[in-house]
Chains A and B, each alone.
Chain A
Amino acid sequence: MYAIAADPIDAAAVTAAVADPATGATCTFIGTTRDHHDGRRVTELEYEAYAEMALAEMRKIGAEAQRRWPIARVAIVHRVGVVPIGAASVVIAVSAAHRGAAFEACHFVIDRLKEVVPIWKKERFAGGEVWIGSQTGRRFPSGDGG
């Protein structure tokens, strides 16, 4: 299951999507929106995606995880639009025969997602709003290449 969703994410459904009788471990990561950043009280977050490319990149990350670890299935769902504080903005589930691979692959998927998937987060706070990443971000792919 790979999806960009405008509605609240059902973490149980994402977890169920990787169920497999050959597995003994499922690791589900739920990324939720936080009420503070850089000492500021955040009131709301909004996510924007380049949806067609984001989905393709999410599938590539899942495939890469499957090449690097002995895992069974991967599911990634990212929410877009306004997400209230405390709600899930991303849910990742990985199933494997054993827990070590499930934990490691799940960790890899969220880290990689934050690096390469074209999704942007805007924080709203009392008195303003800002796109996160634009201030300190780096290019991808790295390097100049002419």
Chain B
Amino acid sequence: MIIHLRFFASLRERLKTAALDRELPAGATAADAWAALCRDHPELEPLSASVSFAVNREYVERGHVLRDGDELALIPPVSGGAG
């Protein structure tokens, strides 16, 4: 199945892209997608503890099972707001 990955902030800069499509086996979870990404880009491994996942714009746990065509956003710790 094809998963549409989205990257932001520090992740986007490290990967030098905001989005990419990746083929994953049926039944793959958000954590599996991250592990696959880390295999391609070992420099991401240290971020594993802090990255959050959103599928189709909703936060999900790492064990969330993906479906073909899902948009999976890899979300570094957020830091919006001020004050």
Which residues does A use to contact B, with CB under 8 Å? 29-34, 47-50, 52-54, 56, 78, 88-90, 110, 113-122, 131-134, 136-141, 143-146
Picked from B75, B78, B81, the residue with its CB within 8 Å of the CB of A89 is B81
A139–B79 touching, CB < 8 Å:
no
B57–A120 touching, CB < 8 Å:
no
* Nearest-neighbor residue (CB-CB) of A117 within chain B: B80
CB neighbours (8 Å) of A90 from chain B are 80-83
Main SS of the interface on chain B?
Answer: loop
With A53-B73, A146-B61 as contacts: A110 and B78 at CB distance below 8 Å: no
How many B residues face the partner with a CB closer than 8 A? 31
Which 10 A-B residue pairs are closest in the complex by CB-CB distance? A137-B77, A145-B61, A119-B80, A31-B82, A146-B63, A133-B79, A120-B9, A133-B77, A53-B57, A132-B79
Main SS of the interface on chain A?
Answer: mixed
Which of B51, B62, B75, B80 neighbours the largest number of chain A CB atoms within 10 Å of its CB?
A: B80
CB neighbours (8 Å) of A146 from chain B are 29, 31, 61-63
B57–A119 touching, CB < 8 Å:
no
CB neighbours (8 Å) of A134 from chain B are 9-10, 47, 50, 76-77
How many A-B contacts at CB < 8 Å in the complex?
121
Minimal beta-carbon separation of B73 from chain A (angstroms):
6
Minimal beta-carbon separation of A109 from chain B (angstroms):
10
- Bound CA–CA A126/B22 (angstroms): 38
- Bound CA–CA A30/B82 (angstroms): 8
Which of B50, B79, B81 neighbours the largest number of chain A CB atoms within 10 Å of its CB?
A: B81
With A31-B83, A110-B83 as contacts: A131 and B59 at CB distance below 8 Å: no
